[in-house]
A = this chain, B = another copy of it.
Amino acid sequence: MIIKILGSAAGGGFPQWNCNGLHSANVRAGKPGYRARTQSSLAISANGSDWALLNASPDLRQQINDTPALHPSVDGGLRNSPIKAVVVTNADVDHITGLINLREGQKFSIYGSDRVLATLNANSIFNVCAPENVPRIAFALDRPTQLTGAGVDLGLTVEAFAVPGKIALFLEKGGEKENYGSRDGDTIGLKITDTATSKSFFYIPGCAEVDPPLAERIKGAELIFLDGTLFTDDEMVVQGLSHKTAQRMGHISISGPNGSIAALKPLSIARRIYVHINNSNPVLDENSEARRIVDSAGWEVGFDGMEVRL
């Protein structure tokens, strides 16, 4: 199985269009130790020819251009694409907007929870992926679903499971007691398994905490890509970028007693990679103390173009 990080940044990307914070300003100025990042997406393939995307970011056109494996085959028809399926983990704009780039009558499949697909159905702009060419397939949680698209069996299964999280910001309703309108399945993690080799990995780009059921599920895994949005719970508040904590945004922080380094330490996961990294996160500076802490803890910081084989 081949896994490519197409985009390793959280919503807004790195730099973010309107951000003059320390890290966005530094990467824009070309400061050493920084690299630009597009928004949150992975591409996966069992055979190297047929691919599924995990989330479709607003930067998808640029990500496809930058990834030769996702170009049309020069030996294929006038219109062809190796992208056969897209799996979306929530309805955040950084995870669904890229679908709008996948128009032009190409056949592929969209997989998501019924709650996320309902958001696509409620927004007519997603009809550029016309349902007669692009079926929208709701998967049940906690059960492996075989990925197929455009008549191709991808040789991969995806098992979606609910994780502690939050509804997409643009769908939030008032009333803090209501958890902003979130319900189970608004945010999901994925377990991807190569049918032939039985190798598997976890992809959880948004997650508010590693609670006991999640810890149990990922224990002993060979590989995980996890929500690395923020390093400390209050970093956006401290940097003056927002009044919201990581928890309020539905993201676990990397550091601290309840952070992901601590939570995954006892779980014997062989390879741990952060994705969905926000422009406020000090790990974006390769020379930072935060980065040293992450490195020392045996974690990796994902970057655009990173490839893992399993």
Contact = CB atoms under 8 A, between A and B. Distances in A.
Nearest to A58: B101
B170 A127 contact: yes
Interface stretch (A10-18, A223-231, A283-291): A10-18
Contact of A104 (B19, B38, B58, B119): B19
Among A59, A72, A125, which residue has the most Cβ atoms of chain B within 10 A? Answer: A125
Interface string A62-104: 1011000001111011111100000000000100110011111
B171 A12 contact: no
A196 interface: no
Contacts of A292: none
A12 B79 contact: no
Contact of A18 (B25, B80, B97): B80
A31 B29 CA distance: 31
B17 A102 contact: yes
A92 to B, nearest CB: 10
8 contacts: A13-B61, A17-B104, A18-B81, A18-B102, A20-B73, A21-B79, A38-B61, A58-B97
Contacts of A73: 20
Given A62-B59, A100-B97, A101-B17, A79 B124 contact: no
A38 B16 CA distance: 19
Q: Which 7 A-B pairs have the closest CB atoms?
A: A20-B72, A18-B81, A123-B123, A18-B106, A127-B170, A128-B170, A62-B62
Interface string A36-70: 10100000000000000000001111101100000
A72 B124 contact: no
Nearest to A97: B100
Contacts of A169: 128
Interface of A: 11-13, 15-21, 24-25, 28-29, 36, 38, 58-62, 64-65, 71-74, 76-81, 93, 96-97, 100-104, 106, 119, 122-125, 127-128, 169-171, 239-241
A97 B172 CA distance: 21
A93 B13 contact: no
Contacts of A65: 15, 36
Contacts of A61: 13, 17, 38, 58-59, 62
Contacts of A74: 20, 25, 29
Contacts of A123: 123-125
A72 B106 contact: no
B170 A125 contact: yes
A56 B239 CA distance: 30
B12 A78 contact: no
Given A100-B93, A125-B123, A170-B124, A20 B78 contact: yes
B241 A79 contact: yes
